[in-house]
Amino acid sequence: MTLTPPATTEGTAADAAPVVQVRDLHKSFGDNLVLRGIELDVTPGEVVCVIGPSGSGKSTLLRCVNQLESATSGTIRVLGTEITDPDINIDAVRQHVGMVFQQFNLFTHQTVLENCTVAQRKVLGRSKAEATKVALHNLERVGLADRGSAHPTQLSGGQQQRVAIARALSMDPSIMLFDEPTSALDPELVGDVLSVMRDLAQQGMTMIVVTHEMAFAREVADRVVFMDGGVVVESGPPAQVIGDPQEPRTRAFLDRVLNPTHTDEGPTAV
């Protein structure tokens, strides 16, 4: 299967065919209905930040978009191809959808360079020389061109996460999905990773970012999507959704996130 990126030479990004189109997506785990009719379009070059409370289904949504989870019902299209079709070639889909996880998921027995070349060689069939060239270019983009021979355990968490970003970029994805990429990092390492993501956004990468970093979402997102209980409660520009939320559930969530020491509602449940 070949997925062809949509033409972007005509019209504005808002007119362009969506890179990802989610329609009436439902996902259950046993009796637990986790996604209850998600609708989402992401246009070329758009950065969508997804926010929402724990358990609202944010990770499940991303995992459905790259088919780590299969949808219970509804459709997801990537570059116009329906990936929820059971006959789809999953590898061809994943090749277009880069994913960065909270816990990096690097191979610790391989060097940084090997981590960034193995899938290029296996999935894309690139030669060692070509894969190395692409990997070094992407390691340069994340500021780690000189660490190719290191092993992941010799790097800080922030550096490991930047390797994971370079690895995903080396597959030339049409969209990058980030699932709380800075949540596992020491606070002083968060900035470098966000700065790499900000650069990617400025270079026109299409991105869906699940994050609790509201300052980042405000600055970088074209659109913020607030999820709760498996539905999109509110969606719009960051100045609206974060700055002036219309829905009570959005307001309550932001109040908790932006004022974590605020205890009007009694002790916080753990």
Ligand X SMILES: Nc1ncnc2c1ncn2[C@@H]1O[C@H](COP(=O)(O)OP(=O)(O)OP(=O)(O)O)[C@@H](O)[C@H]1O
Q: Which residue, 32 or 203, has its beta carbon nearer to ligand X? A: 32
Token pair listed for 23: 């329609």
**Cα separation, 142 vs 166, whole angstroms:** 7
The stretch near Mg ion (CB under 5 A) out of 17-25, 54-62, 87-95, 126-134 is: 54-62
Identify which of residues 132 and 161 has a Cβ nearer to ligand X in the complex: 161
Task: Give the pair of three-digit tokens for residue 253.
Answer: 């969530």
Binding region for ligand X (CB under 6 A) out of 7-15, 52-60, 118-126, 233-241 = 52-60
256 vs 262, which CB is nearer to Mg ion?
256
Among 13, 29, 70, 268, binds ligand X (CB under 6 A): 29
Task: Judge whether 85 and 11 are in contact, CB under 8 Å.
Answer: no
Which residue in the set 18, 58, 113, 119 belongs to the binding site for ligand X (CB under 6 A)? 58
**Which residues make Cβ contacts (< 8 Å) with residue 73, sequence separation at least 6?**
24, 25, 26
Torsion of CA 46, 239, 58, 42, to 10 degrees: -20
- Note whether 59 binds Mg ion by CB under 5 A: yes
Write out the binding residues for ligand X, residues 212-251 only, by CB under 6 A.
Answer: none
CA distances from 153 to 111, 112, 141, 149 (A): 10, 10, 21, 12
Q: Summarize as ranges the residues that interact with ligand X (CB under 6 A).
A: 29, 32, 34, 52, 54-60
Q: Summarize as ranges the residues that interact with Mg ion (CB under 5 A).
A: 59
